[in-house]
């Protein structure tokens, strides 16, 4: 077994591709230093991330793959599934080796799996855009906690940057303890302490952190939601189909 170790970045994975062709050694497994390694390894190589080499690989892929296929690859990477490294490694190598690439060859298992994962990641991002709820804080920043299955924060930020261009906001991924802060000019990465994170995972900020208007609006929205509900027509199964229950803790009307 040949094992490649890398730094768990996309540039690092592309550097692994370059290293494999350069050294004519192709891995059976790609892991990071923190991953548990198999007991029996014939060769182990630590591949340093080199931006220049990763760009060379990406330039080749841009010639072989459509923009749609490139985006699918990035979505698969953001899924953070355990199989991602080897799946993308095989997919990239097949496209490099094939004269015209294989992005539309759905008879290939790797192509099908890439398409399947990319669709799931895209669906997760689209649902988050629908169900994100901002809460205005006492210092005038609109805050929205989320807990997506996949690491889709970078996919949804452009929508909110365009949609809420004139107000400062933070969208925070509580699963990964990382968020994006928009100050009406630029987006920067932020993170909170574990103590603050435990509160954020509840889905609702404490009353002292909310603005006076926000607390009032939340109360009014809950009363409105309750008043328009027709008890005789409640269909929880249908409701969960359109509004999955895992998003409920972030929805004001469901808290």
91 has a pLDDT exceeding 90:
yes
Rounded to an integer, what distance in angstroms lies between the CA atom of residue 134 and that of residue 12? 35
Confidence of residue 84 (pLDDT cuts 50, 70, 90): very high
- pLDDT interval class at 60 (50, 70, 90): very high
pLDDT at 124: 94
Please write the tens of the pLDDT for every residue from 159-188: 999 999 999 999 999 999 999 999 999 999
Q: Following DSSP, what letter does each residue of 119-143 receive, concatenated?
A: HHHHHHHHHHHHH---EEBTTS-EE
pLDDT-wise least confident of 56-60, 77-81, 143-147, 251-255: 251-255
pLDDT digits (tens, 9 = 90+) for 118-135: 999 999 999 999 988 899
Q: pLDDT value at position 65?
A: 94
pLDDT of 193 reads 86
**pLDDT at 225 exceeding the cut of 80:** no
Tokens at 11, concatenated: 């540039």
Q: Which residues pair with 173 in a beta bridge?
A: 146, 178
Query: Which uninterrupted H or E stretch holds 210?
Result: none
Mean pLDDT taken over the chain: 90
DSSP 164-203: TTTS-EEEEETTTTEEEEE-SS-EEEE---HHHHHHHTTS
Taking the complete model, does pTM exceed 0.75, yes or no? yes
Distance CA 27, CA 30 (A): 7
**Rounded to whole angstroms, how far apart are CA atoms 97 and 192?**
45
- Provide the pLDDT for residue 12: 97
Confidence label for 244 from pLDDT (cuts 50, 70 and 90): confident
Res 203 pLDDT > 80: no
pLDDT range class, residue 33, cuts 50, 70, 90: confident
Asked if residue 34 has pLDDT above 90, the reply is no
Question: What confidence score (pLDDT) does residue 79 get?
Answer: 97
Distance CA(48)–CA(46), nearest Å, equals 6
- Over range 44-57, report the average pLDDT: 96
pLDDT of residue 4: 97
**Banded pLDDT at 211 (limits 50, 70, 90):** confident
Q: What is the β-pairing status of strands 43-46 and 29-32? A: unpaired
Residues in the chain: 255
DSSP the chain: -EEEEE-SSHHHHHHHHHHHHHHT---SEEEETTSPPPS--SEEEE----HHHHHHHHHHHHHHS-HHHHHHHHHHHHH--TTHHHHHHHHHHHHHHSSS--TT-TTSHHHHHHHHHHHHHHHHHHHHHHH---EEBTTS-EEEEE--SS--HHHHHHHHHHHTTTS-EEEEETTTTEEEEE-SS-EEEE---HHHHHHHTTSS--GGGB-HHHHHHHHHHHHHHHHH--GGG--HHHHHHHS-GGGGGG-GGG-
Reduced to 3 states (helix: H, G, I; strand: E, B; else coil), residue 40 is coil
- Residue 31, token pair as written in the block: 């892991």
Q: Which two tokens stand for residue 78?
A: 């953001």
Question: Predicted confidence band at 212 (pLDDT cuts at 50, 70, 90)?
Answer: confident
């Amino acid at each position: 077994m040949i094992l490649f170790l890398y730094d768990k970045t996309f540039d690092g994975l592309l550097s692994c591709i370059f290293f494999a062709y350069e050294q004519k050694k192709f891995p059976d497994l790609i892991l990071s230093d923190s991953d548990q390694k198999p007991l029996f390894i014939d060769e182990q190589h630590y591949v340093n991330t080199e931006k220049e080499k990763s760009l060379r690989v990406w330039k080749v892929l841009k010639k072989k793959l459509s923009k749609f296929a490139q985006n699918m690859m990035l979505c698969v990477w953001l899924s953070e599934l355990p199989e991602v490294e080897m799946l993308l490694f095989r997919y990239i190598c097949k496209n490099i080796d094939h004269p015209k690439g294989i992005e539309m060859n759905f008879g290939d298992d790797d192509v099908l799996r890439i398409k399947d994962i990319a669709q799931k990641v895209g669906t997760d991002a689209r649902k988050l855009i629908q169900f994100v709820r901002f809460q205005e804080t006492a210092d005038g920043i609109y805050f929205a906690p989320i807990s997506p299955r996949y690491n889709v924060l970078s996919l949804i930020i452009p929508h909110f940057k365009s949609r809420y261009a004139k107000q400062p906001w933070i969208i925070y991924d509580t699963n990964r303890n990382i968020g994006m802060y928009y100050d009406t000019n630029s987006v920067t990465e932020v993170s909170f302490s574990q103590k603050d994170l435990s509160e954020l995972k509840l889905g609702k900020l404490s009353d002292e952190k909310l603005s006076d208007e926000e607390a009032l609006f939340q109360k009014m929205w809950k009363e409105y939601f309750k008043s328009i509900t027709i008890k005789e027509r409640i269909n929880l199964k249908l409701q969960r189909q359109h509004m999955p229950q895992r998003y409920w803790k972030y929805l004001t009307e469901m808290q």
